Amino acid sequence: MKKTIYSLVLIVSVFYSCSSSDDSDDGTTPTDPETPENTVKLSEDGTFGEILTDSEGMTLYFFSNDSKMTSTCEGECLSAWPVFYEEELTLDDGLDEADFGTITREDGEKQTTYKGWPLYYYVGDSSAGDTIGDGVGNVWYVAKPDYSLMYVNAQLVGNDGNNYVIDDNGDYVEGDGATLYITDALGNTLYAFTPDTNDTNNYTAEDFSNDAAWPIFHEDLGSIPSILNESDFNVISVHGERNQLTYKGWPLYYFGGDGQKGDNKGVSVPEPGIWPIVNTATGVAPAE
C-alpha cells in the first residue's frame, strides 16, 4: 500500500514538472510582444506643452515659409531640416487623422502635413525631447496641435497683382522679398486697419453689413509661436455683439478677397498701407 501511494506521488510530481517546463524554453511564461509606438506621438514638453513627435520622441517642426501648403525647403535647407514622412500613420489619442495629409514635393518625394503645414525634423536635435530648432531664423517652430496663430514668411502680393515689400520707413512699396506677418492657425492672413485706434474698431458697421469685406477675427488665444508675446494680445467687444482679437491694440481682420490659404491680397486695398499686415515690428496702435 505504501509503495502504491509513493508511486502516485511520483507520477503527479513528474506531470507538474513537465507542464511547467513546457510554458517556455527558458522556464518563463511568455508575454505578448511589445506594442509599437505610434508613428506620430503627442508628447508633453516642459516649455511648449503638447508637441508633435515621431515614434521615437524626436520633435517635428513647422516652417513659416510654407504658408501655401507646399514645402519651400529645398536643397541645402533639407540638410538641416529633413522631411518627415510616414505612409501608414498611427496616432496618439488627442490627434485627429483628418488633420494629417501627404504632399508630393517638387523633388518628387512625399511629405506628411499637419493642418496643412509640412512637417520636418531638425538635425540639431540629437535626442528625443530636444526642441533646439524652435525659433531658428524666426521661421521654424515646434509643431503643436493647439496653435491659435501662426507666424508666416511670404511674398506680399496685392489684389492689384503687384508684389510688395515694406521699406525702412514702414511704407508698402513694390518689390520682391518675403515679409513676416501673423496669420490664423491655418495660415490665413490677418490685417490691421490704419484708421483704428487702440483697442477700438472704427471700421465695422453697427449692423455688421460691411463685415463680409473685412471680417473681424476672433480666436480664443491658446498656444502661439514663441516669437510672439501673449501680453501683446487683447479681446475687445465690437458693438457689444462680437469679440475681436487685437494685437498691440490693433483690431485684427481677415480680407474677404483672400480666396485661399496664403493669400495676402488685402495689402493693396484700396491702396497699399491702408490694411497692413502685423508682425513683431508693428507699433502700438495710437490712443483715441
Q: How confident is the model at residue 33 (pLDDT cuts 50, 70, 90)?
A: low
Q: Whole-model pTM?
A: 0.87
Q: Is the dihedral of CA 59, 36, 104, 78 positive or negative?
A: positive
pLDDT tens track for 210-243: 999 999 999 999 999 999 999 999 999 999 999 9
Least confident of 32-41, 48-57, 190-199: 32-41
Give me the pLDDT at residue 288, please. 80
The answer on pLDDT for 251 being more than 60 is yes
- CA 153, CA 65: separation in Å to the nearest integer? 5
Report phi then psi at 37, rounded to 5.
-70, 150
DSSP 183: E
| Distance between CA atoms of residues 79 and 82, nearest Å | 6
Indicate if the pLDDT at residue 18 is higher than 90: no
Among 72, 216, 221, residue whose Cα is nearest residue 153: 72
Residue type, 20: S
**Sign of the Cα pseudo-torsion (100, 218, 158, 227, in order):** negative
Is residue 172 within 8 Å of 264, Cβ to Cβ?
no
Query: How do the domains of the chain map onto residue ranges?
Result: 40-145, 151-268
